Structure 1
Amino acid sequence: MSAKKTMSFLIILLLFIDCRSKSAQAKLRSKNAEKNSSITTNKKKILLYPTSTTNQVITHSYLTLSYSEKDEQPEWVFYKISNKNYNKQVKRTNDYREDPFVKTESASPKDYKGSGYDMGHLAPAHAMAHNYNAMSESFYLSNISPQKASFNRGIWRSLESKVEYWSSFRDSIYVVTGPILDNPIDQIGDNKVNVPRAFYKTLVSFKDDKAMGIAFILPNEKSSKSIYTYATSIDEVERITNIDFYYNLDSLVQEKVEANRNIKNWLSVK
Structure 2
Amino acid sequence: MRNFQRHLAVACCLLSTAAYADNCMMGCPSGVNNGKTVTRSVYTLKNNATTKFADWVAYHVTSKTVSGPTRKRTWKTDPALNVSNTLEPSDYKNAHATIHTDRGHQVPLASFSNAADWAQVNYMSNITPQSSDLNQGPWNKLENAVRKYVKSGHDVYVISGPLYENYFASLPNTGKNHTIPSGYFKVIAEKSGDTVTASAFIMEQTAGRYDDYCDTEVTVNEAEQRSGIDMMPELSAVDEPEVEGTLGGLMAGLGC
Q: Where on the TM-score scale, by shorter chain, does this alignment land: which range? A: 0.7 to 0.9
Deviation at 1:74, TM superposition (A): 0.5
Matched, 1:252 2:238: yes
Matched, 1:220 2:205: yes
1:25–1:125 CA distance, 2 compared to 1 (3 A): farther
Matched, 1:59 2:36: no
1:140–1:23 CA distance, 2 compared to 1 (3 A): farther
Deviation at 1:50, TM superposition (A): 3.6
Which aligned pairs between 1:189-268 and structure 2 lie closer than 5 A?
189-223=174-208, 224-262=210-248, 266-267=251-252
Q: Which residue of the partner structure matches residue 78 of structure 2? A: 99
Q: Which structure's relative contact order is higher, taking Cα pairs within 8 Å and 6+ residues apart? A: 2
Give 3-state SS (helix, strand or coil) of 2:252's partner: helix
Whether contact under 8 Å (1:98, 1:105) holds in the other structure is no
Rounded to whole Å, the distance in 1 between the matches of 2:45 and 2:75 is 17
1:266–1:48 CA distance, 2 compared to 1 (3 A): farther
Deviation at 1:203, TM superposition (A): 1.2
1:23–1:130 CA distance, 2 compared to 1 (3 A): farther
Whether contact under 8 Å (1:51, 1:243) holds in the other structure is yes
Which aligned pairs between 1:76-155 and structure 2 lie closer than 5 A?
76-89=56-69, 91-103=70-82, 104-116=84-96, 117-133=101-117, 135-155=118-138
Deviation at 1:130, TM superposition (A): 2.0
The amino acid that maps onto 1:199 is: Y
Whether contact under 8 Å (2:38, 2:80) holds in the other structure is yes
Give 3-state SS (helix, strand or coil) of 2:33's partner: coil
Whether contact under 8 Å (1:123, 1:143) holds in the other structure is yes
Gaps of 5+ in 2: 1-8
Identity level (%)? 22
Rounded to whole Å, the distance in 2 between the matches of 1:186 and 1:26 is 42
146-155 vs 163-172, which moves further: 163-172
Deviation at 1:222, TM superposition (A): 4.2
Give 3-state SS (helix, strand or coil) of 1:83's partner: coil
Rounded to whole Å, the distance in 2 between the matches of 1:76 and 1:35 is 16
The amino acid that maps onto 1:92 is: R
Q: Which residue of the partner structure matches residue 34 of structure 1? A: 21
**Could you report, residue by residue, the CA deviation over 1:48-67 in whole angstroms, capped at 9, with x for unpaired residues?**
43443324211111100111
Whether contact under 8 Å (1:179, 1:196) holds in the other structure is yes
RMSD: 2.5
The amino acid that maps onto 2:86 is: S
The number of residue pairs the alignment matches comes to: 238
**Could you report, residue by residue, the CA deviation over 1:158-194 in whole angstroms, capped at 9, with x for unpaired residues?**
1110111122345421111011123231121222332
Which aligned pairs between 1:38-53 and structure 2 lie closer than 5 A?
38=25, 46-53=26-33
Instruction: Indicate the structure (1 or 2) with the bigger Cα radius of gyration.
Output: 1
Deviation at 1:260, TM superposition (A): 2.0
> Greater strand percent: which structure?
1
**Could you report, residue by residue, the CA deviation over 1:57-110 in whole angstroms, capped at 9, with x for unpaired residues?**
111111001111111110111001123332423x31322111111245321111
1:236–1:185 CA distance, 2 compared to 1 (3 A): same
Deviation at 1:28, TM superposition (A): 6.3
Give 3-state SS (helix, strand or coil) of 1:177's partner: strand
The amino acid that maps onto 2:51 is: D
Q: Which residue of the partner structure matches residue 43 of structure 1? A: none
Scaled by the length of structure 2, the TM-score of the pair is: 0.83
Q: Which residue of the partner structure matches residue 9 of structure 1? A: none
1:119–1:193 CA distance, 2 compared to 1 (3 A): farther
The amino acid that maps onto 2:161 is: G
Q: Which residue of the partner structure matches residue 162 of structure 2? A: 179
Whether contact under 8 Å (1:212, 1:266) holds in the other structure is no
Give 3-state SS (helix, strand or coil) of 2:185's partner: strand
1:222–1:182 CA distance, 2 compared to 1 (3 A): closer
